[in-house]
Amino acid sequence: MPADFEALLSKLERRKPERLKKDSETYKIMASVFDSSTLLTLYHMINRGVFDIFYGVVSTGKEANIFCALDKRGNYVAAKIYRISTSNFRNMYRYLAGDPRFRRIQRERRQIIYSWASREFKNLQRAYEAGVAVPRPIDCEKNVLAMEFIGEEGAPYPRMKDVSPRAPRRMFEKLFEAIKVIYRRAELIHADFSEYNVLLTPEPVLIDFSMATDIANPMCDELLMRDLGNLVRYFRKLGLKTPEPVELFSEVKGK
């Protein structure tokens, strides 16, 4: 364990000015948001070569911050770091408890958040191995998840919320197929599908699998219908004629 966390923060903040401009906010965010346990986890992952250089924040959500980083080989990596002190662990517990993989989880803040990050990592593994276009999972330790960075030269690709697809019919079909493959091959439901969680590369890449759950979850059908309803809602707003969510539901389930 490093004795001087200021030195660790300095290590995390190192920059290569010729690659990207220095983001002075990174130091402030890490120093003010992350506790010593999280910094120690980052230190371990740096020593393993998962991370080497941290750049700026890509996005800040209710539960986690996502940073752009480089690994030891100079590849861009996304670092998703769940905040221990501000995450809504009670809501996390409610979703974890329905997932048969996590039914025995202890109802303690830190362990719930660690399990939440671990579940997202495992969900990405299952979806990636099933052939779904998702960020490739790289590593996970406690509340820190490392995955493939979806973008170019440190700039993330846009969300479908911010950039409408050029060919709505084709995009609708691709996303519906992704939902179907996630269910049939990965045996998961995304459970938080929306235009906020699709990156256009321009091909669609599904992100944020933190709420994804095993199809053995008792809420399986409800969550699948919610995902399909969001898919239909978005594309109907673009003027596309789509099947009803219940028809898509039957096709996914093979009925």
| Residues tagged active-site | 192, 208
Q: What is the three-class DSSP state of 242? A: coil
Q: In 150-209, where do the E strands start and end?
A: 151-152, 155-156, 188-189, 198-200, 204-206
Backbone angles phi, psi at 45, to 5 degrees: -70, -30
Contact 135, 78 (CB under 8 A): yes
Measured CA to CA, the distance from residue 46 to residue 52 in angstroms comes to 6
Contact 143, 81 (CB under 8 A): yes
Contact 55, 20 (CB under 8 A): yes
